[in-house]
Each structure stands twice: as C-alpha cells, then as structure tokens.
Amino acid sequence: MKTMTEIKTNKLTLVQAVTDGLRTMLREHEEVLVLGEDVGQNGGVFRATDGLAAEFGEARVMDTPLAEAGIVGTSIGLAINGFRPVAEMQFLGFVYPAYEQIMTHASRIRSRTLSRYSVPMVIRAPYGGGIRAPEIHSDSCESLFTHMPGMKVVVPSNPYDAKGLLIAAIEDPDPVLFMEPMRSYRAFKADVPEEKYTVELGKGAKLTEGEDVTVIAWGNMVSTAQKAVDQLKDDNISCELLDLRTLYPLDKDLIAESVKKTGRAVIVHEAPETGGVGNDVLSVINNEAFLYLRSPVQKVAGFDTPFPFFSLEEEYLPTPERITHAIKKAVTF
C-alpha cells in the first residue's frame, strides 16, 4: 500500500475533481458514457466536462436535446444494455421533467426483474444556493430522491470526496443521484490523488472531534457549519462536525456513535425544513441515541418557501450565526 507521501496529487477545485473523476472512468471503462445538454463541445454549463469530448470523442461524450426526461430515459436503456451512463442535469431544479423516469423505472427495475437487470447509471446535478442564480436554479430537493428506495443519493463537500465518491457512484450497480454543491465548485482547492480511488458510498466522515455537541451537515452547508464550529472555540464549546456525504443510505452508525458521545445534536441543511432529510437524521437519533440526549435536537434549515430570488437568498440560507445560535441553545438547555 502506498503512503500519502508516495501518492501524486494535484490541487483541484471541486468541479475540477468531478472532471478528473469522469476522465478517470472514461479512460478505464469503454462502457462509461457522458450525456447531457452542452456537455460536449461546450464542456457543460459549469465546465465539469471540459475537454472530455475532444479526448474521448462525441460518441462517448455526447450533447443531447434540452429534454431531461429523454436524457434519463435514454440512460436507463443504455444501463440495462451494458453501458454505464453519466447523465448531467444542468441544475437539480431541472430534474422534475425526468422525475417520472427515475421514480417509475430507474429505481425499480432491479426489484421489478428480481435482480435480473440493474441500472448502473449516475445522474449528476448541480444544486443549492449561493451563486445568485435565477428561479429554479438553486433548488435543494434531495428529499424527493431519498424517499425512493432503489436510488442512492450522494453529496460531496470537498474535492477529494467529489472524485472518490463519483468513481464509486459510476462503479455502483444501481442508480445514483450525484448532487454537486454549486457554491463549493470553485470555493477552494485541495489535494486530489492523480490515481483512481474511491470513497465508499453510505459512509459519512467525522471532520472534527468534539465533546459538547454533534453538528451534522452535508454539501454546501459543511463549510458554513465549519465556520460556526470554529467561532465557538472562543466560547469553549467543543463541536463534533459530521459530513454525511451520502443521504441515502444514511450512515446511521456514525450519527448514533457521535450523539451518544456528545449528548446533543444540531442538524444543518439548506433545503426547506418541512420534509427535509434532517427529519430522517432526527429519526436516527431518536431510534439509536434517544436515552443519551441532554437537550432537544436543533435544526437549522432553509425556510418553507420556494428558494427566493437572489436579492433575498442570503436571508434564506443558513448562516454561521444561525448555526452558532442553535448550538448555544442546545448546549445551554
């Protein structure tokens, strides 16, 4: 096994790590295809597929019409017939026309055929606020898909995880929704190995050790929660920060172990609170760690409104200040 000092790495942004993961899998497996609106010559709306059509040809990195249901339906057919398609939704909020294909077919074909057929496909979808995009471009509707057995839902928060999780998603035998946090696309760079590696689906990560409270976040909200955790060090409040990385299936063991240790929890997500994945995390805590709780679990979420126009998005999104307030409320209960 190579040590970290022997592994060659590059400083990449999250979106560059996505490109690197796609290139790695296109090189390794001829059955991997990339399809979507403008993913070919233009390299995608966020340039996540930049240069791939020139390197692998338009038969493997192909532009499609503006028809999300067609992109996903075509990918399902390709997957059943031995390919591993990676379909791009330009924004998660554009996925609604394809929802019927995902709900009725992609997630059910394994159970419908008693595992004679599976659907090894990935749907990539930029999501979330913070980039002042027009209406529907900032939706965070992950709970629509975590409610769908048969579909895994993955959300990286940093470049290393983005490449490793994407490769694991492409190799997975079942459909995966791969949500990419737009605000984090070019927010920072991190070391990403040049070689192929995977980050296991269904496993979260403990980013900081703490004693007083567990803070649970994913995607864009991880960096926001990290700022809150750092601020509270001056108040001698020790926070354990978890990045879930996969929303379905949840890493129940990681959540339970941490909350049993700290006795308190704060859940952070930018989707509206009602019906959000935070409720599933709360159920895990109630089922697995209720008797260890020393205060009610707090949630910091988006509001129960459609994502607002850009002039109000900073009012909508959870901030470090809202998170620190919730943490102090949990600790001082």
Residue type, 282: L
User: Whose CA is closest to 218, among 241, 191, 237, 201?
Assistant: 241
Q: For residue range 303-333, what is the model confidence (pLDDT) as tens digits? A: 999 999 888 998 999 999 999 999 999 999 9
User: Residues of CATH 3.40.50.970 domain(s) within the chain?
Assistant: 9-193
Q: For residue range 57-80, what is the model confidence (pLDDT) as tens digits? A: 999 999 999 999 999 999 999 999
Q: For residue range 176-206, what is the model confidence (pLDDT) as tens digits? A: 999 999 999 999 999 999 999 999 999 999 9
d(CA 263, CA 298): 12
pLDDT at position 4 is: 61
Which residue stretches of 183-248 are H helix? Answer: 220-231
Contacts with 25 (C-beta within 8 Å, 6 or more apart), sequence order? 32, 84, 86, 166, 167, 170, 171
User: Whose CA is closest to 99, among 81, 128, 125?
Assistant: 125
Q: For residue range 116-167, what is the model confidence (pLDDT) as tens digits? A: 999 999 999 999 998 888 888 999 999 999 998 999 999 999 999 999 999 9
pLDDT at position 299 is: 98
pLDDT tier for residue 171 given thresholds of 50, 70 and 90? very high
Please state the pTM of the whole predicted model. Answer: 0.96
pLDDT at position 135 is: 87
Average pLDDT of the residues in 92-110: 95
Using a pLDDT cut of 90, give the percent of the chain over it.
Answer: 94
At the top level of CATH, which class does the domain 9-193 belong to? alpha beta
What is 205-332's CATH number?
Answer: 3.40.50.920
Average pLDDT of the residues in 44-55: 96
The residues annotated as belonging to the active site are: 137
Q: For residue range 210-269, what is the model confidence (pLDDT) as tens digits? A: 999 999 999 999 999 999 999 999 999 999 999 999 999 999 999 999 999 999 999 999
β-bridge partners, 152: 176
Which residue stretches of the chain are H helix? Answer: 14-28, 52-56, 68-80, 99-101, 109-112, 143-146, 159-171, 220-231, 252-262, 277-289, 313-316, 320-331
Taking 70 as the threshold, does the pLDDT of residue 1 lie above it? no
Average pLDDT of the residues in 91-101: 95
pLDDT tier for residue 276 given thresholds of 50, 70 and 90? very high
pLDDT at position 226 is: 98
DSSP string for residues in 248-282: ES--HHHHHHHHHHHS-EEEEEEEESTT-HHHHHH
pLDDT at position 134 is: 85
d(CA 25, CA 196): 8
pLDDT at position 3 is: 64
